[in-house]
Amino acid sequence: MTAIPIFGRRVTQIREERGLTQQELATRAGTSYQTIWRIENGKHAEPGIYIARGIARALGVSLDYLVNLYGQSEDSEGEPVPPPTATRPRPRKAVQVD
C-alpha cells in the first residue's frame, strides 16, 4: 500500500470537515469528480497549479496549507487559513497643491 501524499490527505480531511462530497468539491473547484478521487487516493500526487488553486479556494484554505509549503505536521495545532475576505481599498483623501 502506498502512502497518500499530504496534499491528498489534507484535501480529504478538509472536504469531510466541510461536509462536502467529492462531486460537490469537484463542481466548486471547477474540475472533475475523477480528478478529486485520484488526488484523494494518491493516484494524482501532483496536480497542476490551477487545479490545486481551485481546490484550495473551494475548501476555503490557503494553497500553502494544502501543499504543506511551510512543513507543518498534520498533528500541529495550526488551523487551516480561512478564505480571504473581499475588501475595498480606502478612498484617498484629496490633497490640495498650491
> How far is 17 from 88, CA to CA, in rounded Å?
30
**For the chain, the helix, strand and coil percentages under 3-state DSSP, each to the nearest 5:** 45, 0, 55
pLDDT band at 81 (very low <50, low <70, confident <90, very high): very low
The one-character DSSP state at 74 is T
- pLDDT, tens digit, 9 for 90 and up, residues 5-44: 888 999 999 999 999 999 999 999 999 999 999 999 988 8
pTM of the predicted protein model: 0.67
What's the CATH code, domain 6-67? Answer: 1.10.260.40
- Structural domain spans, the chain: 6-67
